[in-house]
Amino acid sequence: MQDNNGKLFIVSLVTLFLELLLIRWISTEVRIFAYAGNLVLLACFLGIGAGCYRADKEANALLTLAMLVLIALAVRSAPFLQITDMLSGFSDSLIWFQPSRGNLFFALQGVCLTVFLFIMVLVSFVPLGQMLGQLIEAHRNTIIAYSVNIAGSLAGIWCFSLLSFYYTPPWLWLVFALGLLFLFIPRGKKQGAIAAGAALLILLTAGTDRPDRTVIWSPYQKLEVLPLFSGNVPNGVLVLVNSVSYMSAANLSRDFLQQHDLLADPAAVRFNQYAIPYALNDRIDRVLIVGAGAGNDIAGAVRSTAREIDAVEIDPGIYALGAQLHPEKPYQNKRVRIIVDDARAFFKKTDKKYDLIVFGLLDSHTLSSQYNNVRLDNYVYTEESFREARRLLKDAGILVLSFAVEQGWLGDRLCGTLKKVFGEVPYVFRTMMVTANLKWGGVMFVTGNNQESLKAVVASNPELKDYIKKNSVSYPGIVQPASDNWPYLYIRTPSIPAMYLFIIASLLVVFMVAGRLMDSGGSLTSNRHFFFLGCAFMLLEFQNVSKAALLFGATWLVNAYIISAILVLTLAANAVVYAFRVKYCIPVYAALAVSIIILYVVPPDLLNSSGYSGGTTVAALLLNAPIFFSGIIFITSFSQAPHKDRAFGANLMGAALGGLLEPLSFITGIKALLLGVFALYALAFFFRPQAHQ
């Protein structure tokens, strides 16, 4: 028994660890998965579920190793590296720095390659699912077995989080995972082949880093640092995220540019995105910068007369780069206070008032969590976020937002949202820093609490007025604003983008084929109760993670805590069922239904009105109550199931389908998915075992 518990714990640990590993690694090497990272998660779920259904067959961990090698070869090959180009031709959603080809045949090639990669990930998890199913089925106490599984999953989360905290690269993650996986590979004549496969996998992973640049794996993303030159003059560093240019850390001071004869366009240097905010008011005392990045925005503030500068940056890796490598050393200035946090979380926590709030170039290249399709910066650009920012402005305070507007509808959305919040159309104009080879800029939106005062300042500065007029951009402001309920900044209209539709349709075919192959003797049909429980739970988990990102911040640590809290609540549900010998769950279904209704009815604004500490406490209770009740229902049913392996497999396959339903929120908004959760739990109730009648 003890031995089986140990095996179950390790299998659960390595399974969860490999899930997180593949999500981060694949989303970095094949950039489209940085915007649809939950596809890898769904492949993992479907693979584990399929393995549980094949628990009566011998599990071969060599298959997992072989598939990992094939995945490593695939993501380094030219066709797979072009998937992002192939899928970026649809104009109804935005993928950064990708051409809009509009070629359906080209896009369908990308869909096929995506599905092929999905299947490879799925197959790699089948042996792990088989081992899980075998160990749970053979255990004398189902509640203890499932609790050990959850405990191992918790350990997997925190092992990966710990390695992320120390900025370790993927090859080291694989060394850890393979070390555990080898415990389940029988010793024999294939040891040489196994060692060669493992060595090849590690070399392939380590080989993705290029020698001409420094590579840093922050808790959020892969950062590549290259030397930056303005003409032939060394000038800081260029930072790439997921292999595309993201930001610079450059000396843009007038003295440096004059000294090296880099003033290619004096007007562009004087009125660039880092200097303009301080030309709008000569009495700026306190500044807030969100999305401080490598430090260019801070350097612009330091060059002004501002007395206090609060700088918020979510990625500690980017902050560390700026602190060490920015040539002007703005992070070391005594007037600067650094806050490593999510911008929305900071808006909620602070009561300070600012003369100027600057939204730096926050454009995100990653998701806030592997459990949803919300990008890291989505909640920063909602209507509610701008209202919170306005609350932090003084009476004559100014808000300045810079954004790399690649498609007109995106600029239109930002313009319309700011107009709705502040009551007037903001100043909108293009900015560009042109100093030899250094070309950065975007569209700047300027508004504030006192529009008349702002207009008077612009009118009193003829050069600034002329610059704004010459570079003015007009947006009608008719595109629907993003909101906390519909935070999808990079989707044009409330609809499922074509890219997602093609991928979902293809994966549904994979799902149906897998279900048909496993439904021998109607076993999947007989486990519909567990299937719908898994489907509902996945949508509920999406709700939790998305709302937690809104209420607590979209940081990697918050995400780890939320997923851990879900698992801990599952353990608590197990303990309740074990201690009180729960057999009948109809009252628990009623409590679950009530908790979902409350979660649907209570608006997030009501939680915010309680203050940050009080609101987060109440939010944690509301978000977690359905998790606890659903946990009681699942373990009660699971402990009574005649075939634990197949019941567990059906549950995981249901979770995979629940993940495919998540993009419905692109149409309905996040809140409406709770109605789907309610309906799916109702189906689980309808198909509940006879013992629950």
Give residue-wise pLDDT tens across range 305-332: 999 999 999 999 999 999 999 999 999 9
Q: Which amino acid is at 333?
A: N
- Report, as an integer, the average pLDDT of 364-371: 68
**Residue 79 and residue 74: Cα distance in Å, rounded?**
8
**Residue 420 and residue 481: Cα distance in Å, rounded?**
9
- Looking at per-residue pLDDT, the higher value among 364 and 557 belongs to 557
Report the range of poorest mean pLDDT among 215-224, 517-526, 618-627: 517-526
Q: Answer whether residue 356 shows pLDDT above 90.
A: yes
**Residue 550 and residue 540: Cα distance in Å, rounded?**
15
Give residue-wise pLDDT tens across range 530-583: 999 999 999 999 888 888 888 788 787 888 888 888 899 999 999 999 999 988
Pairing state between β 354-359 and 393-403? parallel
Q: What is the pLDDT of residue 207?
A: 65
**Residue 369 and residue 545: Cα distance in Å, rounded?**
7
- Report, as an integer, the average pLDDT of 475-496: 92
Q: What is the pLDDT of residue 522?
A: 56
Looking up tokens 């109760």 gives 529
User: Cα dist. 88→28, 93, 518 in Å?
Assistant: 16, 8, 35
Q: What is the pLDDT of residue 438?
A: 52
* 237 closest CA partner among 363, 362, 325, 299: 325
**Residue 637 and residue 631: Cα distance in Å, rounded?**
10
The structure's pTM equals: 0.91
Q: What is the pLDDT of residue 93?
A: 62
Residue 273 DSSP one-character state: T
Q: Answer whether residue 97 shows pLDDT above 60.
A: no
Q: What is the pLDDT of residue 172?
A: 93
Report the range of poorest mean pLDDT among 376-390, 432-446, 651-665: 432-446
Q: How confident is the model at residue 233 (pLDDT cuts 50, 70, 90)?
A: confident
Q: What is the pLDDT of residue 483?
A: 95
**323 sits in which H/E element:** helix 316-325
* 32 closest CA partner among 361, 293, 367: 367
Looking up tokens 């939204």 gives 359
- Report, as an integer, the average pLDDT of 166-172: 92
Q: Which residues pair with 337 in a beta bridge?
A: 310
- Looking at per-residue pLDDT, the higher value among 27 and 422 belongs to 422
Q: Answer whether residue 1 shows pLDDT above 50.
A: no
Query: What is the pLDDT of the chain when averaged over all its residues?
Result: 86
For 175-212, letters b (16+ CB in 10 Å) and e give ebbbebbeebbeeeeeeeebeebbeebbebbeebeeee
Residue 583 DSSP one-character state: -
Q: What is the pLDDT of residue 436?
A: 44
Q: What is the pLDDT of residue 199?
A: 81
Percent of the chain with pLDDT over 90: 52
| Residue 623, both tokens | 């978000």
Give residue-wise pLDDT tens across range 402-455: 998 888 899 999 999 999 999 999 999 998 765 445 556 789 999 999 999 999
Q: Which residues pair with 340 in a beta bridge?
A: 313
Q: Is residue 205 within 8 Å of 174, Cβ to Cβ?
A: yes
Q: Answer whether residue 618 shows pLDDT above 70.
A: no
